[in-house]
Structure 1
Amino acid sequence: MRLFRLLPLLLTLLSPLAFADSNYQVELILFRQASTPLLASQPAPDDWAGDAQLPASGSERSTALNAEAAKLRPANGYEVLLHQAWQQSVGPNPVKIALSNGQEQFGQYPAEGTLSIKRESFVDISADFWVNQFDADGLVTASEHLKQSSRLKNGQPTYLDHGSLGILIKVTPL
């Protein structure tokens, strides 16, 4: 009988722990079909990163999806544009991370975008990436845009597809 009186108190004390931030390894591969030319479209906005933060200094991790990335080579019709892994604290409030790869030209990168990630019962992500092509003066002449959201299973690679662009992402609890 005492247990039933203590149960509400125990649930009240333990419920914040269920939604506390936890550490995860996040790994993302952004790739495109190599034979598909970049079509002229609306270029990425100048403030493509917005209020996103860079992965924390020292949070870089070794990539684990190397075998999958190796299959995404030009001989198979693909090109890896960005492959990065880092440790991230994830909780119920979305964290928005800015990622880029390549030589910056006037605030733009060949591959740039943001990844928002949060965890309640499941890990939910929203990816917003741009692939840019530059002219000799460093101005963006063509862009492709991938914007997708997904619910992930812990430790399972998830594929997001949008036209000639794709993302392979894996989020693993540490």
Structure 2
Amino acid sequence: MRALRPLASLSLVLLALLSTSAAFAEAMYQVEVIVFRQTTQPLPAARPAPDDWAQGALPIDPSQERATTLNNEAGKLTPANGYNVLLHKAWAQSIGASPGRVALSAGSEQSGHFPVEGTLDLKQDRLIDLSANLWVNRFDDSGWLSSSELIKHSVRLQSGELTYLDHGSLGLLVRISPL
């Protein structure tokens, strides 16, 4: 009988760990993203963004949009300081063990593309894994996509920390905080 007690205790500990990770997997977070350009950098000509830039990701549900909190940081990214904010959004999202993908866009759509468009993949183990594929697009005089810049990064984030991702003339600030 005594030999079964350690097994029962081990089973209870494993069950507690599984239930904790299940609750952890369903946590809601506020995700906030700022995409900006250094205005002093020359704009490289690159291949245009693909027509399937969203890759099946759904746009952020308007009911999940939140007020931005990185307004002081965005306020410093002015043309007078050599920067231009291209996108600044915040939303609530459940982040768990399986990746969740959202489509981001800013500006007016032209021929199926936006001035800023792309996807964010988020998943959580102990830290939060972020994969960003964001295009900053240029259009010709007739409204057709002529070239794009891509910021593509994968990084591990600490919850609540502001993280800066640099990519040539483009930058990305992101903070993911529990709700």
TM-score of the alignment, normalized to the shorter chain, above 0.5: yes
Partner of residue 105, structure 1: 110
Counterpart among 100, 123, 128 of residue 118 in structure 1: 123
Partner of residue 133, structure 1: 138
- Alpha-carbon RMSD across the aligned residues, in angstroms, is 1.5
1:29-44 equivalences under 5 Å are: 29-44=34-49
Contact in 2 for aligned 1:38/1:142 (Cα 8 Å): no
Secondary structure of residue in 1 paired with 2:13: helix
Unaligned runs of 5+ in 2: none
1:11-160 equivalences under 5 Å are: 11-14=13-16, 15-19=18-22, 20-160=25-165
Q: CA deviation at 1:3?
A: 6.6
Change (3 A) 1:25 1:3: farther
Which segment drifts farther, 5-14 or 143-152? 5-14
Q: Could you tell me which amino acid in structure 2 is paired with residue 42 of structure 1?
A: R
- Structure number with larger C-alpha Rg: 2
> More helix by proportion, 1 or 2?
2
Distance, in Å, in 2 between the alignment partners of 1:75 and 1:105 is: 29
Unaligned runs of 5+ in 1: none
Contact in 1 for aligned 2:110/2:144 (Cα 8 Å): yes
Per-residue deviation, residues 32-78 of structure 1 (Å, max 9, x unmatched): 11233422210100010011111223001111100000001110000
Secondary structure of residue in 1 paired with 2:75: helix
Distance, in Å, in 2 between the alignment partners of 1:35 and 1:110 is: 19
Per-residue deviation, residues 105-150 of structure 1 (Å, max 9, x unmatched): 0110101110000001110100000001111211112211110011
Contact in 2 for aligned 1:38/1:143 (Cα 8 Å): no
Q: Could you tell me which amino acid in structure 2 is paired with residue 78 of structure 1?
A: Y
List structure 1 segments (4+ residues) > 6 angstroms apart after TM superposition.
Answer: none
TM-score, with length taken from structure 2: 0.92
Q: Could you tell me which amino acid in structure 2 is paired with residue 82 of structure 1?
A: L
Distance, in Å, in 1 between the alignment partners of 2:8 and 2:72 is: 51
Contact in 2 for aligned 1:30/1:167 (Cα 8 Å): yes
Which segment drifts farther, 145-154 or 47-56? 47-56
Q: Could you tell me which amino acid in structure 2 is paired with residue 125 of structure 1?
A: L
Q: CA deviation at 1:80?
A: 0.4
Counting aligned pairs with the same residue, the percent is: 50
